[in-house]
Amino acid sequence: MDEERALYIVRAGEAGAIERVLRDYSDKHRATFKFESTDEDKRKKLCEGIFKVLVKDIPTTCQVSCLEVLRILSRDKKVLVPVTTKENMQILLRLAKLNESDDSLEKVSEFPVIVESLKCLCNIVFNSQMAQQLSLELNLAAKLCNLLRKCKDRKFISDIKCFDLRLLFLLSLLHTDIRSQLRYELQGLALLTQILESAFSIKWTDEYESAIDRNGPPLSPQETDCAIEALKALFNVTVDSWKAHKESDSHQFRVMAAVLRHCLLIVGPTEDKTEELHSNAVNLLSNVPVSCLDVLICPLTHEETAQEATTLDELPNDKTAEKETVLKNNTMVYNGMNMEAIHVLLNFMEKRIDKGSSYREGLTPVLSLLTECSRAHRNIRKFLKDQVLPPLRDVTNRPEVGSTVRNKLVRLMTHVDLGVKQIAAEFLFVLCKERVDSLLKYTGYGNAAGLLAARGLLAGGRGDNWYSEDEDTDTEEYKNAKPKEELLKPMGLKPDGTITPLEEALNQYSVIEETSSDTD
C-alpha cells in the first residue's frame, strides 16, 4: 500500500508532494532490509519513477528524498534488475559529482545529494552484477579517485570521502582488474595513503617519522570511519604486494608503514572503534613487504636517549635483564629504539587471545605479522622475546598453566584449529631463534611436538633460518631445575617393543637396516 501511494504521487504530483510522500516512506522503511515478494513489481515501478523525477529540475531537498527511498529499495536485489541501466547509473554519477572533472566542491547545499547518491551506488554495485559490469564500462574507479582528490584536504566533507572510499573498496573487492588499475594507472597507493595522512592530521618530523600528540583528543567518529574505509581499500590494492614489488615502490611502502605506525599509536572515539581501526591497520601491514616494516621502530631522539640513560641508571643492578626495556614518558624503549608500535601490536594480540573466539580471522593476522617482523628484524625479535619469553623463573608449573602471554600462546599450540596452532608455535619458535632446545625450555616437549614433527626436528637441532647469537639468559631457577628435564625426552620403540629415548631407538633401527642390506 505504501508503494502504491508513493508511486501515484511520484508519477503525477509536483515536487513538494513528491518530497513529502517519499520522506514518509523513508521514515517508515528506514530499517527495512527484507521486503514482501508480493509488492516486488510495485517497488520496481517506484524505482523507475524516481529515476524519471531525478532528471528533472527539482529542489535539492526533493532530490535527497528521492535518493533516500532509492537507497532503501536498492537493498532488494530483485528490484534492481530492470532499473540497473547505463542511463540510470549515469544519473547517479552526475548527482554524485563524479562526471564533472573540473567542478570543485564549493556548494555545501549539494553535499547531502552527493552523499546519498554515493550511498545508492554502494548498494547498487554491491547487489547487482550488471551494475558491476557497468562500473567498468563507465570507468567508475577513475571518477572516484578524481572526487577523492577534490576531498583530500577538506575537513568538512568526511561523509563524501567515506562513501567514496567505501565504493572504491567494493569495486576493488569485486574486480581484480580494478586493483591493478588503482595501483598503477590511478596511483591509488599514494592517493589513499594521503587520505590517511589527512584523516590522522599527520605532521612529519623525519622522512618516515611523525609527531605523536599523546595529550591530544581522540580521532573524531567521521575521520575514524574515513580511515577505516581507506585502510580496507588499500588492503585490496596491495593484497599481493608481499609476494613481489618493485624496488622503486619501497619508498611508498615505507611511507604507508609509517602512517600505519601512527595509526597504531592513536585512538578512536570509542574502544570498539579503536580496535576496528587497529585491526584494519594490522591487516594492511600484513601486505607490506617485510623489508619495509623497519619503520615501525625508530631510533630515539637525543632528548629521549638522555631520558632512557637516566631511567637505566635508576634501575637496581640486580635487574639486569629488565634494563633492556624501559618505559619513560609513556614511550616503550628497547636497545635505543622506540618500540611503541610493536608494543601496541603485542597488546592487540593478547586481547584477541583473551576473546577466546574467531581466532582464525581475528588472531592469525597479527600473529603472522609479528612472526614475520621477528624473523626479518633483529631488534623487533629481541624486544618481543623480552616481553613474551622473559628469563624463566617459574619452573614449577607447566608452561601452559598461568596468565602470562607465554602461557596463553603455549595453550594455543594445541588448539583444535590447525592454522591457529601452527602460527602460534611458529611465532614462539622464531622468538627462540628456531632452536629446539630453547623452544622446549619455554613450551615443553608435548606442546611443541606438532611443530617439531612437521619440521623434522623431533630429535633436536634448529630451523633453516640464521639468527645472531645472544647471551645466555638462563636464570638460576632454571639452571637448578634443568637436570630434572631429563625426564622429558622424545621416546621411541626399540625393535623388541620396549620404550627407549628416540635417538637410541633410531640408532638401533639404523643398525638393523645396515645388517639387512648386507645379507644375501
Closest CA to 380 of 330, 331, 431, 329: 431
Among 223-232, 240-249, 256-265, which is the least confidently predicted range? 240-249
pLDDT band of 322, cuts 50, 70, 90: very low
Rounded to whole angstroms, how far apart are CA atoms 253 and 166?
Answer: 22
Task: For the chain, give the percent of residues with pLDDT over 70.
Answer: 81
Phi, psi dihedrals of residue 449, rounded to the nearest 5°: -60, -40
266 φψ region: left (φ > 0), alpha (ψ -120 to 50), beta (else): beta
Residue 204's SS3 state is strand
**Distance between CA atoms of residues 120 and 136, nearest Å:** 17
State the average pLDDT over residues 206-228: 92
Per-residue pLDDT of 499-512, as tens digits, reads: 677 677 667 766 66
Q: What is the mean pLDDT of the chain?
A: 86
Give the three cell numbers for residue 383: 624486544
Q: Reply yes or no on whether the pLDDT at 358 is more than 80.
A: yes
Contact partners, residue 501, CB within 8 Å, separation at least 6: 489, 490, 491, 492
DSSP annotation of 462? B
Q: Is the pLDDT of residue 316 over 70?
A: no
**pLDDT at site 508:** 73
From the list 367, 440, 353, the residue with the least C-alpha distance to 404 is 353
- pLDDT confidence of 519, banded at 50, 70, 90? very low
Give the closest residue to 72 by CA, choosing from 9, 23, 14.
23
Instruction: State yes or no: pLDDT of 513 exceeds 90.
Output: no
pLDDT of residue 144: 96
pLDDT over 60 (residue 517) = no
End-to-end CA distance of the chain: 95
Residue type, 409: L
Question: Which range among 110-119, 214-223, 327-336, 373-382 shows the weakest confidence by mean pLDDT?
Answer: 327-336
Can you state the angle between helices 340-355 and 405-412, rounded to 10 degrees?
50
Other C-beta atoms lying within 10 Å of the C-beta of residue 405: 18
Q: Residue 395's pLDDT is what? A: 75
The burial of 304, by beta-carbon neighbours within 10 Å (0-12 exposed, 13-18 middle, 19 or more buried), is given as: middle
Instruction: Reply yes or no on whether the pLDDT at 57 is more than 80.
Output: yes
Give the distance, in angstroms, between the CA of residue 283 and the centroid of all CA atoms in the same chain: 2
Bigger pLDDT: 464 vs 489: 464
